[in-house]
Amino acid sequence: METKRLYRSRENRMICGVCGGVADYFNVDPTLIRLGLVLLACTGTGILAYFIAAIIVPDQPQT
C-alpha cells in the first residue's frame, strides 16, 4: 500500500500551490481550502501558516 504524502500542487496553483496540495491530500475541492485560508487570514495566523507551509512542503514530483 502506498503512503499518502503532502505536496504542493503543480496543477491547482494560485500562489505557491499549498492550498491545492492540501485539497489533493484530503480529496476535497481546492476552493474550500482557499476559503478556509481566507477566514484564517483575517486573524493573521493563516498568512503565517501559508508561508511556512510554502517553505516546508515539497513540490509535487514530476510525473
CA separation for the pair 7, 39 (Å, rounded) = 22
Give the pLDDT of residue 57. Answer: 92
Report pLDDT digits (tens) over 9-63: 888 888 888 999 999 999 999 999 999 999 988 988 888 888 999 999 999 888 7
- Residue 57's closest CA among 15, 13, 9? 9
pLDDT recorded at residue 33: 92
Confidence bin at 4 (pLDDT 50/70/90)? confident
DSSP the chain: -PPP---B-SSS-SSSSHHHHHHHHHTS-HHHHHHHHHHHHTTSHHHHHHHHHHHHSPBPPP-
Asked if residue 5 has pLDDT above 80, the reply is yes
> Do 37 and 19 contact (CB within 8 A), yes or no?
yes
